[in-house]
Amino acid sequence: MARLLERYKTEIVPKMMERFAYTNRLAVPRLAKIVINVGVGNGHEEKTRLEEGLRDLALITGQRPVVTRARKSVAAFKIREGYPVGLKVTLRGRRMYEFFDRLASIAIPRLRDFRGLATKSFDGRGNYSLGITEFLVFPEIHVDNVEIVQGMDITVCTTASTDEEAFELLTFLGMPFRRN
């Protein structure tokens, strides 16, 4: 069992039950999924950018990414319908908890000029989104193998119904939020 999942069941659930007066353990919010998106721009022109993104995202998540394709042709961006424009991974279960643990405890604190994550990035339904400008903050990526530095968008989906509940859950899980 993932270290963070075990901690969630033994420590965090009782704290959340006490904080929000839940009567049932199943009513306590939990992580539902983590979605990671990487835009590769003109993936049809720069094959290395797409291939490198696939390799790096697979290393980071432990799961093979799905190539997302353009739905419409846009002449201004020189993109036609069906061209590869991004990569996507949806993590659930054990892999999700392991990724979240590495994200919160290793990768985010390694960000340049890091002073904490913004607390305003919740969507009103208990989901949190953040962007990372470079893959290099993850320990699985070796700087020598990287030709093109790429960023990623990460969305943490919870079963919480309010942002307050999601904030408390993510704080207990170890997400380093900015102190106001």
| CATH code for the structural domain at 30-173 | 3.30.1440.10
Plot region of 45 (φ>0 → left; ψ -120 to 50 → alpha; else → beta): alpha
Q: What is the pLDDT of residues 78-115, one digit of tens each?
A: 778 888 888 999 999 999 999 999 998 888 888 888 88
Q: What is the pLDDT of residue 29?
A: 94
Can you give the residue ranges of every domain in the chain?
30-173
Q: What is the pLDDT of residue 83?
A: 84
Q: What is the pLDDT of residues 118-160, one digit of tens each?
A: 888 898 888 999 998 888 888 888 777 777 778 889 999 999 9
Q: What is the pLDDT of residues 30-54, one digit of tens each?
A: 999 999 999 887 655 667 788 888 8
Q: What is the pLDDT of residue 70?
A: 85
Q: Rounded to an integer, what distance in angstroms lies between the CA atom of residue 124 and that of residue 102?
A: 26
